[in-house]
Each structure stands twice: as structure tokens, then as C-alpha cells.
């Protein structure tokens, strides 16, 4: 660090200095931020992306992730991931990768904490119902909805709607919402969050499915990436089946992170971008080796067949979708049942979109409660 300042805490000068020392020129530096839609004064003790992270953590949408389905609803037990614990696992993996690649951890953390904010209750099952309800009004996607939450729906500041996040934080989510169809690549920080999301769910969905008895270890042993992780763990002590399973899941994450770091570092080395702007002109640099990418694909298609489409998951899915459809119908027939804050928006945003904004914000349990109250069963 350069000269010690008179201030007893880290000021904006030293935040910039710290980034210059710790992260690469092609990382996103907070001094180069394109700012916020509604200009705000800099804060002395927090950089812009730290501030974004804190704003996201203080939203109602973030807190509600704790009662939203990742893959399995909370009736199934207390072991498996919910949308919040998934988000925290993604964040932890993404920060590790960001630190190792010497890119902006604060930005990575903000984007990781935000990445699933737009999920409605019951995960992708809920998303499909809302997409169906808004078929002729632009549809519904959780990635797009996360942007709507942070730009419009959260009203926590008197001076502007939404959270007024930095453009760099929003850009990561815009890339996800555009389903990667943008003409340029996103920042390395956004690429890392995407990769960490996939590393987290590939590993924890297998772990959760085993714990819930939807899979047994023998079935997973047919999958090369699991097989290899198991072989590595087997080289150590004799473990009980549960200890073995947990060790394999850790090994699975470790293996993917290691592969991603080596492959991405070599891509960066090859292209030698000089700035974060140049990164956007190159094809994505963060990625897995061909071999691990193929093995991950195989694991994902196995999970799709054996877990996401498991009869017990499908049964919950059908019931949850039915409840959401009935709730939508009942609110459409009687918009006076909407809470006043939503009712006031229907004229401007359209009734169907407003109902979906309301439904998307619900937790699983609140959906069931509202369904019982408004639909009478």
C-alpha cells in the first residue's frame, strides 16, 4: 500500500490503490466505473461494487430467497439447498475464482448475490407458469426479472426507484437475461459468476438428490466426473458411505474450480487483454477444458433425467403450478385482492404484468398461504 493516510480508515483513494495493487489491468476497476443511472456522491469507505453488494443484501427479494425452492421444496427436509444457500455457495466459489484470477472480487460478489434474485416461488416450475401467463406481454424469465427487481420493484431509497446499481453490476445480469446472445462478451467477473453457478448446482444437486434418496451412489458411479472424484477420495482413508459422499462432493467442486482456473488462466495468457474493455471484444475467456466441459454435460443430462424429472419432483411441480395458475386467475378476476402497492402500479404496467410481479416476489410458503386464503383450498 502507498503512503499511510491520516484517515483512520480506508478512503476512496486507498480503495483505488488497493485495486491497482491486487487486481489485473483487465479486471474491472472501480475507478473506471461508468457510474449509476441516478448520479450519487462517492462514499469514502466503500467502493461502488461493495456498495452494490450491500444494497442487494438489504433487499426483501434477497431475504425471501431463503424460502424459495432451488430444486426441492422445503417439505422434503432441512438438508438440501434453497435458493439462498445456493446463492451463497455460488458467491463463495465465485470469490475464490476471482481472487485466484486477480479480478474484482467486490463486483463478483455483488453479481453472484444478485444472480438468482428474480426466481419466483417453486423455481423453474413457477417460472414456466408466469411465462405462460405473460405469453403475449413479453414473457417472464427469472434473469430478466432480477433486473426488474433491482431497477424498478425494490423501493428502498427516496431518490430513485430500484437500487441504482453500478452499470457494471447490471451488465452481468443483462448478459444472463439476453441468454448470452449479446454481440460482445461480458466482463471476466460476470463470466466467473456464470461458471460458479454451474459448478455449484452440478455438485449440490447430486448431493441433495442422494441425501433425499432420489439417487443412489451406484447410479452416479456411471458418470465419469463422479467416478474420478470418487477414485481420488478412495485413495485416502476408509470412509463411511455418508462421509464418502460428502468428500466426493467437495472433490467435485475442487476439480471443477481447478480446471476452470487453469483453462481460464491459459486463455487469458494467450489473448493478453490489456483492459476490461478489451475483454469484451474477445470470445469468453473463462471456461473449462474440453474434457471437463464434456463430463459436466454428461452429469447435467443425468441429473435432468434422474433428478429434475423424478416422479416425486414432478408431482410437487404439478401441484405448485396449479396453485400459481389459480392464484393468477383469482387476482385477475378480482384485482382488488392485490396489495395496495401493487394495485397502484397496474394502470402503468398492465394488470397481468403486475400480478406476475406480485406472484414472483412470493416465497413458496406464502404462495401456499395465499392460495388457501384466495382460492379456498
Cell of 198: 454451474
**Among 53-61, 192-200, 219-227, 242-250, which window interacts with Mg ion (CB under 5 A)?**
192-200
**Number of residues counted as binding Mg ion (CB under 5 A):** 2
Q: Which is nearer to Mg ion, 30 or 82 (CB)?
A: 82
| DSSP states of 270-323 | HH---SHHHHHHSSP-----HHHHHHHHHHHHHHIIIIIT-HHHHHHHHHHHHH
Query: Locate cell 464434456: which residue?
Result: 294
**Among 29-37, 135-143, 180-188, 193-201, which window interacts with Mg ion (CB under 5 A)?**
193-201
Give least dist CB 65 to Mg ion, A.
10
Binding mask 285-314 for Mg ion (x = CB under 5 A): ------------------------------
Query: Locate cell 394495485: which residue?
Result: 343
**Among 1-9, 111-119, 173-181, 252-260, which window interacts with Mg ion (CB under 5 A)?**
111-119
Q: Which is nearer to Mg ion, 200 or 249 (CB)?
A: 200
106 binds Mg ion (CB under 5 A): no
**Among 26-34, 149-157, 195-203, 339-347, which window interacts with Mg ion (CB under 5 A)?**
195-203
> E-strand spans in the chain?
none
Q: Which is nearer to Mg ion, 116 or 364 (CB)?
A: 116
Give least dist CB 115 to Mg ion, A.
6
Q: Which is nearer to Mg ion, 116 or 171 (CB)?
A: 116
Pick out residues in 149-188 that bind Mg ion (CB under 5 A): none
The Cα–Cα gap between 201 and 277 comes to 30
Give least dist CB 346 to Mg ion, A.
30
Q: Which is nearer to Mg ion, 174 or 319 (CB)?
A: 174
The Cα–Cα gap between 71 and 240 comes to 26
**Among 194-202, 240-248, 279-287, 362-370, which window interacts with Mg ion (CB under 5 A)?**
194-202
Dihedral Cα 218, 221, 222, 225, nearest 10 deg: 160
Q: How far is CA 27 from the centre of its chain?
A: 21
Q: Which is nearer to Mg ion, 14 or 256 (CB)?
A: 256
The Cα–Cα gap between 121 and 69 comes to 6
116 binds Mg ion (CB under 5 A): yes
* Among residues 19, 168, 197, 208, the one that binds Mg ion under rule CB under 5 A: 197
Give least dist CB 228 to Mg ion, A.
25
Give least dist CB 142 to Mg ion, A.
9
Cell of 148: 426488474
The Cα–Cα gap between 228 and 232 comes to 6
Binding mask 66-105 for Mg ion (x = CB under 5 A): ----------------------------------------
* DSSP-assigned beta bridge partners for residue 69: 82
* CB 363 within 8 Å of CB 320: no
Q: What 8-state DSSP symbol labels residue 117?
A: T
**Among 1-9, 99-107, 108-116, 328-336, which window interacts with Mg ion (CB under 5 A)?**
108-116
Q: Which is nearer to Mg ion, 208 or 370 (CB)?
A: 208
* CB 122 within 8 Å of CB 153: no
3-class DSSP state of 103: coil
**Among 38-46, 116-124, 161-169, 204-212, which window interacts with Mg ion (CB under 5 A)?**
116-124
Please state, in angstroms and as integers, the Cα–Cα distance from residue 23 to each residue in 20, 80, 99, 169, 344, following that order: 6, 35, 8, 17, 46
Residue 70, phi-psi category: left (phi > 0), alpha (psi -120 to 50), beta (remainder): alpha
Length of the chain: 377
The Cα–Cα gap between 18 and 2 comes to 9
Give least dist CB 234 to Mg ion, A.
30
Give least dist CB 201 to Mg ion, A.
6
194 binds Mg ion (CB under 5 A): no
- Which residues of the shown chain bind Mg ion in the complex (CB under 5 A)? 116, 197
Amino acid at each position: 500500500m502507498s503512503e499511510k493516510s491520516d484517515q483512520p480508515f480506508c478512503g476512496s483513494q486507498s480503495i483505488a490503490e488497493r485495486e491497482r495493487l491486487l487486481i489485473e489491468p483487465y479486471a474491472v476497476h472501480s475507478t473506471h466505473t461508468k457510474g449509476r443511472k441516478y448520479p450519487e456522491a462517492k462514499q469514502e469507505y466503500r467502493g461502488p461494487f461493495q456498495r452494490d453488494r450491500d444494497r442487494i443484501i438489504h433487499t426483501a427479494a434477497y431475504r425471501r430467497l431463503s424460502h424459495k425452492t432451488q430444486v426441492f421444496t422445503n417439505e422434503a427436509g432441512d438438508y438440501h439447498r434453497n435458493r439462498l444457500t445456493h446463492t451463497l455457495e455460488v458467491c463463495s466459489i465465485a470469490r475464490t475464482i476471482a481472487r485466484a484470477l486477480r479480478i474484482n472480487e467486490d463486483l463478483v460478489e455483488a453479481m453472484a448475490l444478485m444472480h438468482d434474485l428474480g426466481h419466483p416461488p417453486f423455481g423453474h416450475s413457477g417460472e414456466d407458469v408466469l411465462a405462460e401467463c405473460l405469453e403475449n406481454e413479453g414473457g417472464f424469465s427469472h434473469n430478466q426479472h432480477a433486473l426488474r427487481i433491482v431497477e424498478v420493484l425494490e423501493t428502498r431509497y427516496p431518490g430513485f426507484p430500484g437500487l441504482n446499481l453500478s452499470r457494471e453490476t447490471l451488465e452481468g445480469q443483462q448478459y444472463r437475461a439476453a441468454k448470452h446472445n449479446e454481440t460482445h462478451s461480458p466482463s471476466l467477473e460476470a463470466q466467473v459468476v456464470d461458471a460458479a453457478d454451474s459448478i455449484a448446482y452440478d455438485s449440490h444437486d447430486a448431493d441433495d438428490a442422494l441425501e433425499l434418496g432420489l439417487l443412489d451412489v451406484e447410479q452416479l458411479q456411471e458418470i465419469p466426473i463422479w467416478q474420478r472424484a470418487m477414485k481420488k477420495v478412495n485413495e485416502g482413508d476408509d470412509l463411511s458411505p455418508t462421509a464418502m459422499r460428502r468428500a466426493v462432493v467437495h472433490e467435485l467442486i475442487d476439480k471443477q474450480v481447478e480446471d476452470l482456473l487453469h483453462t481460464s488462466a491459459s486463455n487469458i495468457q494467450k489473448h493478453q487483454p490489456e483492459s476490461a474493455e478489451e475483454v469484451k471484444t474477445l470470445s469468453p475467456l473463462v471456461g473449462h477444458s474440453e474434457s471437463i466441459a464434456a463430463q459436466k454435460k454428461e452429469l447435467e443430462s443425468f441429473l435432468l433425467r434422474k433428478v429434475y424429472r423424478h416422479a416425486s419432483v414432478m408431482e410437487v411441480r404439478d401441484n405448485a403450478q396449479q396453485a400459481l395458475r389459480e392464484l393468477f386467475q383469482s387476482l385477475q378476476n378480482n384485482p382488488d385482492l392485490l396489495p395496495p402497492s401493487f394495485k397502484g402500479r397496474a394502470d402503468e404496467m398492465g394488470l397481468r404484468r403486475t400480478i406476475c410481479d406480485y406472484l414472483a416476489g412470493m416465497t413458496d410458503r406464502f404462495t401456499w398461504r395465499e392460495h388457501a386464503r384466495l382460492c379456498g383450498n
